[in-house]
Structure formats: structure tokens, C-alpha cells
Amino acid sequence: MSISSAIDVRDAIARGERTATDVCESSLARIDAVDAAGPALHAFQTVMADRARARAAALDRLPAPAGPLHGVPIALKDNIVVRGVVATAGSRMLETFVSPYDATVVERLEAAGAVIIGKTTCDEFAMGSSTENSAFGPAKNPVDPTRTPGGSSGGSAVAVAAGMTPVSLGSDTGGSIRQPAALCGITGLKPTYGRVSRYGLIAFASSLDQIGPLATTARDAALVLETIAGHDPRDATSARLPVPSFTGALTGSVAGMRIGVPSRLLEQGVDPEVRQAFDATAAMLGAYGATIVDIELPHSRHAIPVYYLLATAEASANLARYDGVRYGRRAPGAGSLAQMYEATRGRGFGAEVKRRVMLGTYVLSAGYYDAYYLKAQQVRTLIRRDFDAAFAAVDTILMPTSPVPAFRFGERLANPLQMYLADVFTVSANLAGIPAVSVPCGATRAGLPIGAQFLGKPWDEASILRCADACERLTSRA
């Protein structure tokens, strides 16, 4: 039996109809049924069964609910650390690394009564759009296991879409929550940069990374965001801002909202069925009271090259710590320090990580810094200004999440540029630091899910969640 929404689970426990232990066992049974056996979806890298059972039993002994997520099973992308549990980040480099501490989001989830059920498959160090870059094998799309679930938070999306957990956490550096959410037919939210603490997130690109929820509904995503958001003194980039009631913003209506659509940006490269579903969604929102406004985002066409210069430069700096000395893998038998570095990184990193580290090191090198890295930062500023100008006229912006539905395994591996273009509509939100949420908006004739995303003003997750929730409700009426 698949697991229902987080709010349904919590409320059933509160009414005495279920226990946290019962829900935990249902989640574990579902994982056993679909993740390792049968279609072997491989959503999970590590299932924390004993820890989860002990946690659920402890919750059942409490005289009152522990919080708004009491008894809800939650999966974590395997780049978010849990004390005493292996955190691989999808890499051989960290295959045996056991975290000595909990991430801030883990502390906050457990304080709210959640049960952490396991760690999910991801592209190595979150670098990828298909989970094919995981050193331990890819996760598979539950709609069609011959196709990718997207990435890099593919396992987190599969866990929710296949009913193993009602919600999960992923990280989004250039679309890694929203793109797999779209390809698997669920909701995925990237909060404003700084809304959620990154303490305990294994870094890829520090000015872009953000933790967020994947869920069956926008209401569940809003509830989880309320739980994990807020300032953390251990993360200097987390904002000192109050956390509003995101669930309270879900009115079910878009009446009176102004929603911008960057029509010129969508003229090329969008699959016809994706475009048809997107246009139908925009028309539906207009029919139910929103005003659809054509907007311009002139510099967003440069977002992919800007992203792959800045993200790789930051990755080069962040991954320099994996040297075989302090923690993680160390290649044996090296005769010198330089040989040990070379062997450790050569065997510990996969091909895509090596590619990005080399590119990042190049753009930061003497003679190329101004031509590439500095220029990319300048264009990043222009992209942010485009959004500022657009949001002076509209409340949210609507775009497709992915230009294509889920693609087959191996289809894009030989051409990294084609793989990178899967993120063409998602990376600009990370570059600008703004929130964005992907919501299901239809399916292809073959039944593959299609997603649309709402982008919002900084710190205005409430408006995009309102739109996502309304989109879900209006679609269910159709």
C-alpha cells in the first residue's frame, strides 16, 4: 500500500486511526515492495529501518503529538547528513563516510515529529539531471522504469511518486528539485536562497545550493517548508527573517493574481506536448481569474552558460577538500603526496564530477578569470535585474519546468550539452536566488508527466505555493 499525503498521515495518527509505528511499517513495506524487488526503482541509497522503527515507537509513547509532522515518514537526499549514518552524496569518494552530526533540517524535522526513513539516490555531488551520475546506479522513473526520473534529486522524487514516503527533501542548485518533480509527476519547491539552512548539506555550489521539499501536494510542501525554514546561526547565508504561515496562504484561488509568461523564451526547444500542456495551464489560470501578462526576460537565454561557469567554479573550490587526508576515500599505495592526491581523486570522482572540476578550475585560472568567471557574474546580475523588472508588473512568473518529458537512460550521456539543456528553464531561478515551485500540469500521450513552474519574488514562497495549490485543485476539477 502506498503512503498518502503527509497531512493525511499526521491527521490519521492524531485521530487515533493509525500509529507512527504502523505508518513507518507501511513505508518500509512499500520500499521493500517497489525499490529493491520488482521494478527495482532504486530510490534509496540507504534505508534506515532500525532507526526509523525506534523513532516511531518513541513517538507513540508520547502523551501528545510532537509537532506538525508527527509520525510522518520522510526521505532525505543522500547529500544531507544524519548523525551516525553514511552520507555518500552519490560518490565513491564518500562511500564509507559516517556523519558525526545532524543537518539543521534534520533537527527541525525531528523536532516536528517526523520519522527519517532513509537516504535517497542522487547524482554524484548533485551534479546531474538524471541520477545516471550516481556511483551506485541510477534511480528509475516509476511511470516508466526505462526512463530517468530526472536529477540530481531523482531518488527523492521517486520515493514520493512511487508512494514510499509522502514527502522528501532534495537540494536544488540548478533545478535539481523541480526537474525530477516534473518528470515524476509531483510537486517540488526550491525556496529563496537563504530561506533554509544549508548546514549539513554537502556542498556543490555554495551560492546556488538550496534545500527544499518534494511532495504529493503543494500543501505538504508548504507544511515542510514552514518546518525547516528560518535563521540558523551555523549558516551565515541563512536569512534573519520570520517564517510566515505558508499553509495559510493556500486559498485555492488565483483570482486577481497577475502571472507573467516569457513567451519569447519559449519559442524554441520546447517539446510540442510540453508546450501544449503549458499553454493549457496558462489558459486555465486565466479562465479562473488570473491575469496572464506577457513579459520579457532578455538575459535568461544566457542562463545555461552562466550557470555552468559559476557552478563549476564553486564546485572546483568546494571539492578541493576531498584530498584523501582529512576524511573520505584515500587511495592506498601512493609513493608521494602528489601521487596520493591524484590516485584518490582519480578513483574517487566519477567522470561528470571530474569534467566540472576541470572546467571550474580552468575558468578560475590566471588569464581566464576576467574573461569567464567575472563576466558570468556580471551577466548573473543582469538576469537578476530582469526578474526585478518583471516582478514590478506581475506577482509570479509561469514557465515550463523541463523542455522535455522524461528521457530514456543513456539518451543524453554521450552529449553533456544536451544533458545540461534539460535545465534551461530552471537555472535562472538559482542564479537570481528566487523561489520556484514545479507542479504537475498534464501528461504526454504516452503518459509521461509534464510540469510547470511558478517563480516568485524573493521571500515570497507564499504566492507561488498559492498558485501551485490552486493549479492542483483546478486540474482535479477538469
Name the residues annotated as catalytic: 77, 152, 176
- CA 251, CA 247: separation in Å to the nearest integer? 9
Q: Which of 417, 438, 413 is nearest to 180 (CA)?
A: 438
Phi, psi of 11 (to 5 degrees): -70, -35
Angle at 125 between CA 223 and CA 385, to 5 degrees: 65
- CA 201, CA 169: separation in Å to the nearest integer? 11
CB-neighbour burial class of residue 354 (10 A; exposed 0-12, middle 13-18, buried 19+):
middle
CB-neighbour burial class of residue 336 (10 A; exposed 0-12, middle 13-18, buried 19+):
exposed
CB-neighbour burial class of residue 89 (10 A; exposed 0-12, middle 13-18, buried 19+):
buried
- CA 72, CA 310: separation in Å to the nearest integer? 37
Whether the upstream peptide bond of residue 300 has omega within 30° of 0, thus cis, is no
